Structure 1
Amino acid sequence: MKQKIHLKAAAAVFAGAVMCALSFAPYNVSWLAWVAFVPVLLSLTAAKGKFAAFTFWLAGFSLWLFSTDWFVNIAFAAWITAAAIMGIKWLLLYFSVRFLHQKGIFFTFAFPIVLVGLEAIQGYLFGGFDWNFLAHSQYRFLHLIQIADITGAAGVSFAVAMVNGYLADAFLITRRLIKEKPEINAKMLAKYGALDASVVIVLASVFLYGHFRIENEKLSEGPLIGIVQPDVPSTAKGIQVSYDKMLKRLEKQTVLCRQSGADIIAWPETMIPAPMNKEYIECCRSDSLPQKFYRRLKKLTEDFTLIAGAPYATLTIEDGSLRFDEEYNSAIIFKNGKLLDKRYDKIHLVPFGEYIPLGHISWINDLIMHFNPQGLDFTINRGKSLQRFRLKADGREILITPSICYEDTDAEFTKKSLHTNGEKSDLLLNISNDGWYVKFDGDGTARAGKEHYQRTAISAFRAVENRVTLMRSVNTGISCTIDPLGRIINGYKEGNLPEKALNRGAVEGWFSDNIILCRRRSFFSWHGRWFSRIFLKVIIVIFAAIVIEKLWLKRNKKNGRKC
């Protein structure tokens, strides 16, 4: 009998994990997120012990393996490791929610408190890993996500988790009323009524605020910006597709984009394969790749401004030879045929891709390098400071915050980069190379992977939190415009990419569109992840309480045996 209960509870936990996975992009069955954790929470009342704890970890591990299978393209070991770590998140959820529920706290309150606290912890992993939070499943529901400009994505996660907890409580209360038929009294009615009222108040507040913001946010049209999207899987760069052919394709799309009237055009991260700084280029032969790219880019940009991703390298003399001293992943600017000194060096590096966590420990570095099939040291230097580009488009000055790769998935980092010296940027420009994550069909045709859609969903929250337009220029997609209300804009002023933004994965093209300006600075942009930090402190207190109780019970049991 006990074994049957454990198996049913395990089935419920895995059913919840499956529903959770389907609620995220690219599946977008968003309503499942509102009920996915109901069977998970109900299982807490039926099963306990090591088997239940392992079941929760395994469900979390499986969920992350499935949701982030795009990771296997670049680092199989890192994929398994990250999934195992995220499984611990579900294990902690098991202990924490169960502990609070045993203390008489309804799931309605216990679950959102714990979930938001655990998401806050996740936000600090590897310097910031804000990926597939419960809120991100709701990116298409504009009235719901507007609260993010106060609470960040955590507020949306809280609301969705609260409904899950409430439904679990409603099931348990109904079952009790049917089975036990207790005498209904004023105290019971007040307690259950407070439960109902709490959920109604939270949801009503969130949706009313969302309606108010959508109807009253003051937006205006800004200058025209051009975006170029190559379609070159990273495994093909320089091999199946030569760098010369890749540049020709970029030049072709850029010329068309410039003809649409765009004074500023963006290329994705690392689309220029050679370091683009004058000190380095001057040391290269005239027929070298860096020199060729440099000359062609100067000619291409004679009458507009190009922001593009490129390596940046400083040089030093070692043993009588010139060698790289520092290497950066950078956003550079060519303006009117000149390479400007102004650049942005990426600060938020990707673990195992751009740096090795704890790599300063020699045996860890050696172990990671042992599993690196190319045997190359892929680490780069971390940028030293945030930068913003003050440029002109359509005769107007525009302040652009560049972000590279996953930097725009970090809410706190994005907030800081958009608001420096008391001035808000007009545009958050993300340049990424998602060519690592395409999927290949049997005939070798590339298509967008899960990562492309998940990235876009997360980016919508950065736009809402800071009330800023976010434009993405991404190799293999999804390049698009997201307005300050979090709307992923379909269509554009001119272009040749698919009209629907989410259909732009694994295609090549360009578009130009006017950015949407919002001058108001949001509460979140002033105070950052204050809402998350509250629950981070709460979850730490809960962990401490669990440990103290375990130690106390263990001590009492030991003393009891002596007696």
Structure 2
Amino acid sequence: MNEIVHTIDDDTTEQDRLELVQSASRRHNQAAGWIDNSPDPAAGAKRPQPTGSTPSTAVHRFWDPLRLLAAVATGSAMWISAPDIDVWWLAFFGWVPLLWAIHGRSPKFAFFYGWIAGYVAVFVGFYWMGELLTRFAGFGTAGAAGITSLFALFLGLQWALSAWITRLVCDKTGRSTLLIFPMTWAAVELLMSTISIFPVHMALSWAWQPLWIQTAEIGGALAVSFVMIAINAAIWECILSYIETGKLDKVAVGTLAAWMIGVPAYGWVRIKQVDAAMQAAPQLRVGVVQGNFGIETYSTPGMKPLLLRELQRVTAALQADGAQVVLWGETAYPYGRFSRQHEQDLEPNDRRRIQRGFDVPVIVGLVTRDATGENPYAWNTAWVLDRDGRWGDRYDKNYPLMFGEAAPPGVDPAWYLDKIPSASHLNRGDGPAAITAAGYEFGALICYEDILAGFTREVANEGVHALVNLTNDSWFGKTREQSEHLGLAVFRAVEHRKGLLRSVNAGISAYVDPVGRVVEQTEVTDSDADLFRGAEGFAVDVPMMSAERRTVFGWTGSLFGWLCIAGLLGVWASSRYRRPRAAASAEPTA
């Protein structure tokens, strides 16, 4: 309106004034029309513009090119911001295009726009599945892409349901997306993580940003996802209010400022506090060995003596570097199945003996069997070989990968193996367990168990000083899978304020400290495609944090996600309660 005031003078006629006002009004409505993709009211449109909290009654086309492109843009922002591309700052506003796409649209349209975004994010982000399917499952490129596509359609529901519920609740309650959208995403992320083999957390985009992920100690990776989505929603509400009214909504601006200042401030304070606790804790020098062998290399009989010698060579070198305990990768011991009835290592003249050239305690990854024959199936095991060559504590993998390592739940393994002779079946472990090595308690996790927040919480609550993960990511070649796996595992360290040590057969092996910093890490190798270059490793001083102390997340687990679900239900219920009261108060009295 300022331009109208400055344009009008004493000689301006009433007709000129009217035209100036109409012109300014037309430009404002055209801008609002761009947000809602609606016709110019000056051209004959009669309906009001919907806001972030009011439903649209107009009929729209689903195949709106700009909105479809916006959904694709959000999906692309997800995989571009995540490891291993790591344009992490995209996560601050990557959701805004999708929020624009679903604005003023029906919940049904919002569902499909969200599904498109999720499909794009998962298909590209999880395309490493194709490496597994083509190299080891016999699929061609097209078949592998088809399987990955089905996987993306399923996990894409996380975006679809979030968009649908957000639009539904906003339309029915009159609320904006400011709080509804982050609560919805957290609720859906929680529920989807319980039914998916590989959980998807938006927090992954900030895995290498310790300042932004310290809230994980309160509500897990879910809380970090909530913060990320809340920032996006606040930015969207600021944009929307400015275009619709020409002013920034004060609540949206205040909310955005609170997130952008409060979260890193909290992170800075907690990092300082945890750093002090780390310095005060006893230090244990831990060695991590990476065998650098792929699946085919490991399966070649003639390579087994060399693989074992390399593991022994690096272990001895790490002991010379001061390591007090050493970690080997998942099933790194190359010689078949080791009897669970063994009380000590093999004889010195047996070439399969583990302890040779060193006497430091080792947490060994190996396949074990029952020598009595009572149980015909094997276990995926982490077993402590003590300094004196005797076997100590043992942990068996609790979550063997369905179809890849075990028959589906409820299916008889004998029948399953008879029908699919190329399949395998491993026994499940007896639950979470702490294993003792070098006088300290370690929480053992095997393979992808370190991305399972609920199970890791059970392990951490066993009273451990640090977490260890034995993994074999060689199935995926050199892809982004290894970076994504490590990125998701980072949150386990922050959630429980325990150091996390990972020995991964072909990378990425790493040490993540209790504030989420990746202090040490190796490169990814693929001896099946390249030449075997020998084993490698590193030694690092690890604080043995209090085994008794728990974080908020350690005490409450998924409570934060359930509170988000309760919040959504509460908003919905209160809106339905208010409407009858409002209608009753509007009735004329006699």
Above 0.5 in TM-score? yes
Structure 1 counterpart of 2:360, one-letter code: F
Q: Which has the larger radius of gyration?
A: 2
Q: CA shift at 1:336, angstroms? A: 2.8
RMSD between superposed Cα atoms in Å: 3.3
Distance 1:4 1:336 in 2: 67
Distance 1:163 1:363 in 2: 51
Deviation digits for residues 327-386 of structure 1 (CA, Å, limit 9, x no counterpart): 2111012223534152100112223322343562899959xx97x7xx423221110132
Alignment of 1:226 onto 2:283: no
Q: Judge conservation of contact 1:118–1:539 (CA < 8 Å) in 2.
A: no
Q: Judge conservation of contact 1:275–1:313 (CA < 8 Å) in 2.
A: yes
Deviation digits for residues 242-299 of structure 1 (CA, Å, limit 9, x no counterpart): 22222122222222122212131111001124222254899x9999xxx642xx2144
Question: What is the correspondence of 1:156-305 to structure 2 with a 5 Å cutoff?
Answer: 156-178=224-246, 192-217=249-274, 218-220=277-279, 222-239=283-300, 242-273=303-334, 274-279=336-341, 292-293=351-352, 296-301=353-358, 303-305=359-361
Question: What is the correspondence of 1:504-543 to structure 2 with a 5 Å cutoff?
Answer: 508-519=535-546, 520-538=549-567
Q: Judge conservation of contact 2:180–2:568 (CA < 8 Å) in 1.
A: no
Distance 1:515 1:504, change over 3 A: farther
Deviation digits for residues 95-125 of structure 1 (CA, Å, limit 9, x no counterpart): 1111122232211112101111111012212
2:377 to 326, 330, 344: 326
Report the count of equivalent residues.
Answer: 491
Comparing both chains, which one has the higher relative contact order based on Cα–Cα distances under 8 Å and sequence gaps of 6 or more?
1
Q: Judge conservation of contact 1:5–1:46 (CA < 8 Å) in 2.
A: no
Distance 1:543 1:381 in 2: 45
Distance 2:486 2:556 in 1: 24
Q: Judge conservation of contact 1:5–1:47 (CA < 8 Å) in 2.
A: no
Q: Which residue of 2 is the match for residue 31 of structure 1?
A: 89
Alignment of 1:314 onto 2:370: yes
Distance 1:339 1:10 in 2: 62
Q: Judge conservation of contact 1:121–1:536 (CA < 8 Å) in 2.
A: no
Q: Secondary structure at the match of 1:165?
A: helix
Q: Which residue of 2 is the match for residue 62 of structure 1?
A: 120
Structure 2 counterpart of 1:511, one-letter code: F
Deviates more, 1:78-87 or 1:383-392: 78-87
Distance 1:347 1:227 in 2: 23
Q: Judge conservation of contact 2:212–2:267 (CA < 8 Å) in 1.
A: yes
Q: CA shift at 1:516, angstroms? A: 2.2
Q: CA shift at 1:537, angstroms? A: 4.6
Q: Which residue of 1 is the match for residue 26 of structure 2?
A: none
Distance 1:171 1:356, change over 3 A: farther
Deviates more, 1:137-146 or 1:467-476: 137-146
Q: Judge conservation of contact 1:151–1:530 (CA < 8 Å) in 2.
A: yes
Alignment of 1:90 onto 2:182: no
Q: Secondary structure at the match of 1:353?
A: coil
Higher strand share: 1
Q: Which residue of 2 is the match for residue 427 of structure 1?
A: 466
Q: Which residue of 2 is the match for residue 116 of structure 1?
A: 186
Structure 1 counterpart of 2:540, one-letter code: D
Deviation digits for residues 63-116 of structure 1 (CA, Å, limit 9, x no counterpart): 212111122233447644432210222221221111122232211112101111
Distance 1:151 1:51 in 2: 31
Distance 1:42 1:224 in 2: 52
Structure 2 counterpart of 1:27, one-letter code: I
Q: Judge conservation of contact 1:120–1:535 (CA < 8 Å) in 2.
A: no
Q: Secondary structure at the match of 2:204?
A: helix
Distance 1:465 1:206 in 2: 16
Q: Which residue of 2 is the match for residue 456 of structure 1?
A: 486
2:429 to 348, 366, 383: 383
Q: CA shift at 1:225, angstroms? A: 0.8
Q: Which residue of 2 is the match for residue 319 of structure 1?
A: none
Q: Percent identity?
A: 24
Distance 1:156 1:51 in 2: 28
Distance 1:49 1:208 in 2: 37
Q: CA shift at 1:30, angstroms? A: 0.6
Q: CA shift at 1:201, angstroms? A: 3.0
Distance 1:331 1:81, change over 3 A: farther
Q: TM-score, normalised by structure 1?
A: 0.79
Deviation digits for residues 508-540 of structure 1 (CA, Å, limit 9, x no counterpart): 411111102333532222222221222245567
Distance 1:363 1:40 in 2: 48
Structure 2 counterpart of 1:326, one-letter code: Y
Structure 2 counterpart of 1:121, one-letter code: L
Q: Judge conservation of contact 1:159–1:203 (CA < 8 Å) in 2.
A: no
Q: Which residue of 2 is the match for residue 559 of structure 1?
A: none
Q: Which residue of 1 is the match for residue 170 of structure 2?
A: 101
Distance 1:470 1:351, change over 3 A: same
Q: Which residue of 2 is the match for residue 555 of structure 1?
A: none
Q: Which residue of 1 is the match for residue 396 of structure 2?
A: 345
Q: CA shift at 1:452, angstroms? A: 0.8
Alignment of 1:149 onto 2:217: yes
Q: CA shift at 1:15, angstroms? A: 0.8
Q: Judge conservation of contact 2:404–2:423 (CA < 8 Å) in 1.
A: no
Question: What is the correspondence of 1:437-448 to structure 2 with a 5 Å cutoff?
Answer: 437-439=476-478
Q: Judge conservation of contact 2:398–2:431 (CA < 8 Å) in 1.
A: yes
Question: What is the correspondence of 1:395-410 to structure 2 with a 5 Å cutoff?
Answer: 397-410=439-452
Alignment of 1:416 onto 2:458: yes
Distance 1:257 1:502 in 2: 15
Q: CA shift at 1:210, angstroms? A: 1.2
Structure 2 counterpart of 1:391, one-letter code: A
Distance 1:486 1:235 in 2: 33
Q: Secondary structure at the match of 2:376?
A: strand
Q: Which residue of 2 is the match for residue 7 of structure 1?
A: 65
Q: Which residue of 2 is the match for residue 137 of structure 1?
A: 205
Distance 1:352 1:539, change over 3 A: farther
Distance 1:386 1:436 in 2: 25
Q: Which residue of 2 is the match for residue 181 of structure 1?
A: none
Q: Which residue of 2 is the match for residue 495 of structure 1?
A: none
Structure 1 counterpart of 2:231, one-letter code: V
Distance 1:362 1:338 in 2: 35
Distance 1:278 1:312 in 2: 6
Q: CA shift at 1:408, angstroms? A: 1.1
Q: Which residue of 2 is the match for residue 557 of structure 1?
A: none
Q: Judge conservation of contact 1:345–1:384 (CA < 8 Å) in 2.
A: yes
Q: Which residue of 1 is the match for residue 46 of structure 2?
A: none
Q: Judge conservation of contact 2:461–2:550 (CA < 8 Å) in 1.
A: no
Distance 2:436 2:160 in 1: 47
Q: Judge conservation of contact 1:299–1:337 (CA < 8 Å) in 2.
A: no
Q: Judge conservation of contact 2:285–2:542 (CA < 8 Å) in 1.
A: yes
Deviates more, 1:9-18 or 1:345-354: 345-354
1:45 to 76, 100, 103: 103
Distance 2:155 2:489 in 1: 21
Distance 1:415 1:306 in 2: 24
